[in-house]
A and B are shown apart, each in its own frame.
Chain A
Amino acid sequence: MSNAQLAWNAMKQRECFTVTEIANTANMDVENCRHLVKRLLKKGFIEIKNGIGVQGSPYVYAVKASNDSPTFGRGGHPGREIKQSGRTGHQLIWNALRINLTVTPKLAQAVTNCSLTSIRRYLLALERTGYVRCHRIDNRQAPADKIGQEHCYRLIRSTGPKAPILRIKPAGVYDQNNRQFYAYSEAK
């Protein structure tokens, strides 16, 4: 972990801080620390709480209540971490799963207006990557006895509000919530 990251962690742990305090905690040069603090202030991660910025009354800073973190070092490229907008059929199916916990393809069709083929394909992909567990009906039953019965998909890994995205190469599912890729072969 770089000094800047150590300093940022130290800032987050305190209610308020001065440049010198952080420099001492992160074992950093005071001037470098001052540059870091100015950069964070400019980008809006921290704010001035007190002080006038002169000897004897230095600026007192505090980390803003936010979950955003600054990036340190070279910026990474998004690569396969590309996200989807929320208005997709898969998002609607995912919503139905999160709210109902157990869905059948027909229920999902009623609340999403997606095609049954698309719903089944998505649910199967989720099953193969361990998001849902399928309770299949007994196909040996007479057709009359199967009325009202359907394969049920139970959500067993709810990672957040964003729907996992299907990936073709490599085959699997990319989770936008925890930024992890689950390959089909890894499913248990």
Chain B
Amino acid sequence: MLHTRIIDIKNDKISIAKAEKFISSSKFGASIFFTGTVRDVNENKKVTAITYDTHDVLVIKSFEDIYKETDEKLQIKDKAVFIEHTKGYLSLGDISILIAVACKHRDQAYVLSRYIIEEVKKRSPIWKKEHYEDQTTEWLKGKSIIDEKL
């Protein structure tokens, strides 16, 4: 069971309550909520905000692919996964990503949650522009996906 969505911060925001409702089931004994939030320092620079940019269709496709491959790679077939990512201008402390997972057992839930966030970082077409205290901005260097299939 999978829910995915890109949230445009101008219109909406990520809701942990919504995720809780989605993954909640008496079938599962363990659930984990992971949130990524905007931090105030990066590489010794004082960050005031981050603008997130996304290729919406490819991001959703990557979330679906990551979810599907956990059946075989992690051998976790019975699961509920909720992934939302925000796009637009986020202030310090705002949630950029929420990954909520529910599985039968806690060891599966920890592994699944960690796997999803690491793969999203590697494969999902999401970009960050940091805004600094001195009013400058910078797109963060990322990982090239030339020759890789999403």
Q: Do A and B bind each other?
A: no
Measuring CB to CB, which residues of chain B are less than 8 angstroms from any residue of chain A?
none
Measuring CB to CB, which residues of chain A are less than 8 angstroms from any residue of chain B?
none
